[in-house]
Amino acid sequence: MPQKTKRRKKKKPPVHRALTLVLLAAVLGLLPAGAYCLVRSREEKTSLEIRGQIEKLGELTTITETYRSVFYTREKKNFIQDKSLLFTAEFTVQAGVDLSEGFELSYKGGMVRLDLPPGRIFLVDADDTSFNQIQIKEQFSSINTGDYLPLVSSEAEVIREQALDGGILRSAEERAALLLEGILRSAGAEEVSIRFREVPGI
């Protein structure tokens, strides 16, 4: 009877086995790096999108306040010519954050850090339509814009100081922070840190 021959499995040469292990280790090593690069790429894309949204806001007005002032002026040139005016005017004060001054944005692992320029007043203005005449006297002399506009102009600086003393810049920054935090979270940020730069000299 013919004898059966047993076939033995060929063992892989040591060099071939070592090469396989090296290649496997290299592949496994590249997987975390590839995942990291993918996450990093997504973060950079999200960061650019967020930056673009913020840049579009430009001069961001976040608070508007109204102040009312009372004025009185009189000019008596002689016994005959006499004119006086008592009136009120409303001043509009607008403040916010001017993002066109530049900001710093850092996005990593769902955490966003945003450094913004300080709050500032954009507008202090008294609209002509807000003037309310209370009392006027024109005796052989007429009231003209030169009689009251200088008063209004000089009062604008007083109103500005009142707004600053009342904390308008702090309120402007707080509202800007709330608005921007909403934008950041809607873009996927899990943790948000917002800081305003200090005004030089303060």
58-68 pLDDT, tens digit each: 999 999 999 99
Residue 6 domain-assigned (yes or no): no
CA 35 centroid distance within chain: 33
Q: Specify the pLDDT at position 7.
A: 55
Residue 35 domain-assigned (yes or no): no
Q: Specify the pLDDT at position 34.
A: 45
Into how many domains does the chain fold?
1
Residue 108 domain-assigned (yes or no): yes
Q: Which domain holds residue 163?
A: 46-196
Instruction: Give the number of other CB atoms < 10 A from CB of residue 82.
Output: 15
**For range 6-21, the mean pLDDT:** 55
pTM of the predicted protein model? 0.72
pLDDT > 80? residue 180:
yes
pLDDT > 80? residue 200:
no
Rounded to whole angstroms, the Cα distance separating 151 from 145 reads 10
Residue 134 domain-assigned (yes or no): yes
Q: What confidence category does residue 89 fall into, taking pLDDT thresholds of 50, 70 and 90?
A: very high
Residue 131 domain-assigned (yes or no): yes
Query: Hey, what long-range contacts does 127-132 have (CB within 8 A, 24 or more apart)?
Result: 127/90, 127/92, 130/89, 130/90, 130/91, 131/87, 131/88, 131/89, 132/87, 132/88, 132/89
To the nearest whole percent, how much of the chain has pLDDT over 70? Answer: 77
pLDDT > 90? residue 35:
no
Residue 28 domain-assigned (yes or no): no
